A and B are shown apart, each in its own frame.
Chain A
Amino acid sequence: MTWFGRFRRRAALDRDLDRELQDHLERRTQALIAAGLTPAQADRQARIESGGAEQVKETVRDVRGTRWAHDLVQDVRYGARSLGKSPGLVIAALLSMGLGIGANAAIFSLVDALLLRALPVERPGELVQLEGGSWTNPIWEAVRRHTAGRFAGSLAWGEERLDLSNGGEADPIDALMVSGSFFETLGVRPAIGRLLADADDRRGGGPDGPTAVISERFWERRFGRDPNISGRGLSINGIAFTIVGVVPARFLGPTVGKTFDVAAPIGTIDLVRPGGPQSQLDGRWTWWLNIMLRRQPGQSIEAATAALRGVQPQIRLESLPGDGPPKAVEGFLSGPLTLEPASTGLSELRRHYREPLIALAGIVGLVLLIACANVANLLLARAASRRHELAARLALGASHRRLVRQLLTESLLLAVPGAIAGLAVAVWGSRFLVAQIGRTDDPVALALPLDWRLLGFLAALSIVTAIGFGVVPAWRARRLDAADAVSHASHGRVTRRGAVSGPLVIGQIALSLLLVVAAGLFGRTFSALATRDIGLDPDDLHVAFIDIGKVAPDQRGRVYDELQQAALTIPGVRAAATSMIGPLSGMGWNTRVEIAGEAPRAGRDAMTFMNAVTPGWFATYGIRLIAGRDVGPGDRSGPPVAVANEAFARRFFGAASPIGRRVRLESGPGEMAEVEIVGLVADAAYRGVREEFQPTLFRPLSPEVEPPPFTNLSVRTTPGGAQGVLPALTRAIRGVDPTLSIRYQSMTSRMRDQLTEVRTIALLSGFFGALALLLAAIGLYGVTSYGVNERRREIGIRMTLGAGRGAAERFVLGRVARLVVIGVAIGLAASLALSPIVQTMLYQLQPRDPATMAGAAGMLTIVGLLAGWLPARRAARIDPAQVLREG
């Protein structure tokens, strides 16, 4: 019979054993009678010889090896029944542990994905990147040539947003323009077909023409996982590419937080983005590639950097721009090149979220502590009320070990479902977080496999907590003896107990205060930013980002005007204008300024942001014209003019009016052009909602110097009129030129995107703050109501002796107040000490903001007293007569 069979058929086996031993006894008795004993003597003798039927049975049962399992079943049944009697405790404990574990696992999986995890490539530790942002293609080609042999490999890539449509509303894809060595050097293997190789990375395409590989997600989305994908065509920016393979989903690209749809060789960039001398392939001032090298086995970072610096003169010589101002040429690549570890890839997202994530990790860590304290507290309160039960069981012969096991089982009954709840929260929470931090036009792609080690650790932590505190009563019960069962606890007599749960509650209150302060600081930062006057009216304002790369540069001036005119003819459009830079798009253009008749300034002080706009742009954005005039239709050909904003006027002219002043701007490498300021406008946000208003100079939009291959057409519609307007706008834009491709974004969604980080952290800290408050309230309530029950007799007697109901209430509330005050004081001290950590994440707020601190302290005090007041009221309703009868 198998173990499981023995386990299941215990009763039958026991009956069988009974019969067998009975039979043995009878046979022995018969034998003894036959040997001459009287039946009574024989029976007695046989029983003595047997050594006790029960003991024999026990030994045989031990042989079966199923005893522990039966005990476990018994413990579980009993534990479940006894927990079922306090559903409140169960819910509170599960909630605490589930959220505590889940939130930590979710945040940690994000921290891990974004900050810690190595790229899913071969030997990521060997990867190093060329420090200093982006590089030109000539530099990359020189690096590739001169590092060959000195390194185990080199690769480069640039990120581009390309378009699958042929004009009209864009069908944007995220493309990686990669060197032929990219996949091979990283060690990424194809899911299907082949990946790109050096042969593909030729100008205009390799032997198979322009080739591309696609990501597994794109393969699924676009081609329904067509197994015969290799060889199919794909039109990118109007150029026919051949798909040669699929990149497996585990490789999301070298940039953490982003993914790509298509990867094409760098050599094909001029096909999709034709661009003359400053093209992405040939432009010696066109910085767009990231460069990574693979170290040789055993080569240290220092040795690798030294090897690279050894060939730096050759690299510089081969990539040096012939044109450009001498000063810039002289400084070109003159600083020593440096390599930095790149095993975790690159990430813009990482830069943005490093601080918020670390702050969040701290917050959820505190939540877990509070949750553990809560579980401990609840179990302690419960255990205290079971003293009698434990004593009784001891009296009936249970061993201490058996009691410990019973309590352990009950703790596990709480902890295991708690950990499972945590798992669910973790899965859901990390997805929610990733969705939160994405932007409308740039969703975040992160591989978020659950970290089982971490989850295991957290589950273990909470299980240990539950067990640790669950077993305390058994540990205490070691001093109980049978006498206690009858004398002591039966009257609900006061036993000393507060020693552990008092500090726990104080700790909970202090930790909760920290979280409420954090929630307050982040919440106020968010609301300050969300309600900040950014100087422009974002409602009903839509920006069409238009790719005009296929329009010849000298034709673009005409296109700007025609776009504006076309937009203005659409019913529902109140105002429209084009500009080079779209506000809040994250793009920027800045220039050095010299004031006629002043010595040139240095550094940042000499810089201004720039934009180029068509007439009516300020009106479209609701930016107030303070003095002078807007740019006009005649300014494109007339004498050069500009409109300044207030910040510009303040920086360069102080209090004086800028109208009529002349400034010199760097108009090309080494060239300065003089412009006259003809207007002054109010300040408005330029790149971001968060930054201060930047000095900005607006020039008439004209195609004079190398116009960029894109433009922003902004339209203000009648309130809520976007739905009708945008399709008509698309048609109108295609009417201007059918090759134009368009991407729309509303200004309000841009603002929302800008506030993503701040909103996410405000939301989460607010949620966890509220949770902490709730947990602290539950903890306080539990402890106080237990205290009231415990002191029923004492309170009753006091009342009998003349204390009023108010006095009873005060008596209880006094205890609560003491815990709350101590907790709040500790919490405030901790907040004052810790809040400067988050200084850089706050907006117009000091980390030790007194109002926030006071508000948090006040809120905790109120919640704490409320939680204590409910049991206090119950204390006041104690009937002294009844207490005396019980006593």
Chain B
Amino acid sequence: MPILRRSRARRADADDVRSDLPQGTLDLLILKVLAPEPLHGYAIAQRLQQVSRDVVQVQQGTLYPALHRLEQRGYLSASWKASDTGRDAKFYRLTKQGQAQLESGTASWERLAAAIGLILRPAGGRP
């Protein structure tokens, strides 16, 4: 179907951004930056970039689908509110479900990272 073909093409574009982010990691990162406070889309992108020291740069074509998907799954809720600049912006907030997802996602990420670390680290380097 044409739609599929189009979206597939776009995903390929997005891949160069996400290529360094393993599957599902962007979702986890979004949940993480939203944990302290609700943010709007632009702020989320900024925050990701800042916190990662410019390693993670998320384009709109990747960010917004992810936000809407997370919202659909009930991990985020969104509402329009006045922002610091005085303009209305759509703020995403972590739901209880999202909180739980963040915790379990973080835990499994840490497990995975530790496991990968064990493999990649030279054997003698162990304490």
Q: Which residues of B are found within 8 Å of A50, using beta-carbon distances?
A: 59-61
Partner of B41, one of A24, A49, A64: A24
Partner of B6, one of A21, A28, A58, A64: A58
**B123: interface (CB < 8 Å):** no
Instruction: Report how far A3 CA is from B111 CA in the complex, Å.
Output: 34
Instruction: Report how far A21 CA is from B41 CA in the complex, Å.
Output: 9
Q: Which residues of B are found within 8 Å of A63, using beta-carbon distances?
A: 65, 68-69, 72
**B109: interface (CB < 8 Å):** no
Instruction: Report how far A399 CA is from B4 CA in the complex, Å.
Output: 12
- B68–A64 contact, CB under 8 A? yes
Say what secondary structure dominates the interface of chain B: helix
Among B9-67, those with CB < 8 Å from A are 10, 13, 40-42, 45, 59-61, 64-65
- A51–B89 contact, CB under 8 A? no
- A23–B65 contact, CB under 8 A? no
Q: Which residues of B are found within 8 Å of A145, using beta-carbon distances?
A: none
Q: Which residues of B are found within 8 Å of A399, using beta-carbon distances?
A: 2
- B60–A56 contact, CB under 8 A? yes
**A882: interface (CB < 8 Å):** no
Q: Which residues of B are found within 8 Å of A19, using beta-carbon distances?
A: 80, 88, 90
**B3: interface (CB < 8 Å):** yes
**A67: interface (CB < 8 Å):** yes
Distance (Å) between the CB of A55 and the closest chain B CB? 6
Instruction: Report how far A6 CA is from B13 CA in the complex, Å.
Output: 27
- A59–B61 contact, CB under 8 A? yes
Q: Which residues of A are found within 8 Å of B80, using beta-carbon distances?
A: 19
Q: Which residues of A are found within 8 Å of B61, using beta-carbon distances?
A: 50-52, 55-56, 59
Distance (Å) between the CB of B30 and the closest chain A CB? 14
**B1: interface (CB < 8 Å):** yes
Instruction: Report how far A6 CA is from B68 CA in the complex, Å.
Output: 11
Partner of B60, one of A16, A24, A30, A67: A24
Distance (Å) between the CB of A238 and the closest chain B CB? 78
- A60–B10 contact, CB under 8 A? no
Instruction: Report how far A63 CA is from B72 CA in the complex, Å.
Output: 9
Instruction: Report how far A399 CA is from B6 CA in the complex, Å.
Output: 12
Distance (Å) between the CB of A290 and the closest chain B CB? 63
User: What size tier do the contact residues of chain B reach?
Assistant: 20 to 34
Residue of B nearest to A30 (CB): B85
- B3–A21 contact, CB under 8 A? no
Q: Which residues of B are found within 8 Å of A30, using beta-carbon distances?
A: 85
Instruction: Report how far A26 CA is from B65 CA in the complex, Å.
Output: 19
Partner of B3, one of A23, A51, A62, A64: A62
Say what secondary structure dominates the interface of chain A: helix
**A1: interface (CB < 8 Å):** yes
**A220: interface (CB < 8 Å):** no
**B121: interface (CB < 8 Å):** no
Q: Which residues of B are found within 8 Å of A56, using beta-carbon distances?
A: 60-61, 64
Partner of B87, one of A16, A23, A60: A23
- B60–A21 contact, CB under 8 A? yes
- B41–A20 contact, CB under 8 A? yes
Partner of A62, one of B41, B65, B90: B65
Contact A24:B10 (CB < 8 A) given known A56-B61, A60-B68: no
Q: Which residues of A are found within 8 Å of B40, using beta-carbon distances?
A: 20, 23-24
Q: Which residues of A are found within 8 Å of B90, using beta-carbon distances?
A: 16, 19-20, 23
- B13–A59 contact, CB under 8 A? no
Among A1-27, those with CB < 8 Å from B are 1, 6, 16-17, 19-21, 23-24, 26-27
**A402: interface (CB < 8 Å):** yes
Instruction: Report how far A28 CA is from B57 CA in the complex, Å.
Output: 14
- A24–B1 contact, CB under 8 A? no
Q: Which residues of B are found within 8 Å of A62, using beta-carbon distances?
A: 3, 7, 65
Residue of A nearest to B40 (CB): A23
Instruction: Report how far A202 CA is from B59 CA in the complex, Å.
Output: 93
- A67–B3 contact, CB under 8 A? yes
**A401: interface (CB < 8 Å):** yes
Partner of B72, one of A17, A64, A67: A64
Instruction: Report how far A52 CA is from B40 CA in the complex, Å.
Output: 20
- B60–A23 contact, CB under 8 A? no
Residue from B2, B6, B42 whose CB has the most chain A CB atoms within 10 Å: B42
Q: Which residues of A are found within 8 Å of B85, using beta-carbon distances?
A: 27, 30
Q: Which residues of A are found within 8 Å of B64, using beta-carbon distances?
A: 17, 20-21, 56, 59-60
Q: Which residues of A are found within 8 Å of B10, using beta-carbon distances?
A: 55, 58-59
Instruction: Report how far A63 CA is from B3 CA in the complex, Å.
Output: 12
Residue from A16, A19, A58, A60 whose CB has the most chain B CB atoms within 10 Å: A60
Contact A27:B2 (CB < 8 A) given known A51-B61, A56-B64, A63-B72: no
Contact A401:B2 (CB < 8 A) given known A23-B40, A51-B59, A58-B7: yes
Distance (Å) between the CB of A723 and the closest chain B CB? 74
Per-residue B-contact encoding for A48-78, CB less than 8 Å = 1, 0 else = 0111100110111011100100000000000
Partner of B42, one of A17, A24, A55, A64: A24
- A28–B42 contact, CB under 8 A? yes
Contact A23:B89 (CB < 8 A) given known A58-B6, A401-B1: yes
Instruction: Report how far A26 CA is from B1 CA in the complex, Å.
Output: 34
25 CB contacts below 8 A, A to B, read A6-B72, A19-B88, A19-B90, A20-B41, A23-B87, A23-B88, A23-B89, A26-B87, A27-B85, A27-B89, A30-B85, A50-B59, A50-B60, A51-B61, A52-B61, A56-B60, A59-B7, A59-B64, A60-B68, A62-B3, A63-B65, A63-B69, A63-B72, A64-B68, A64-B72
A-B contacts besides A56-B61, A59-B10, A62-B7, 4 pairs, CB < 8 Å: A20-B40, A20-B64, A58-B10, A63-B68
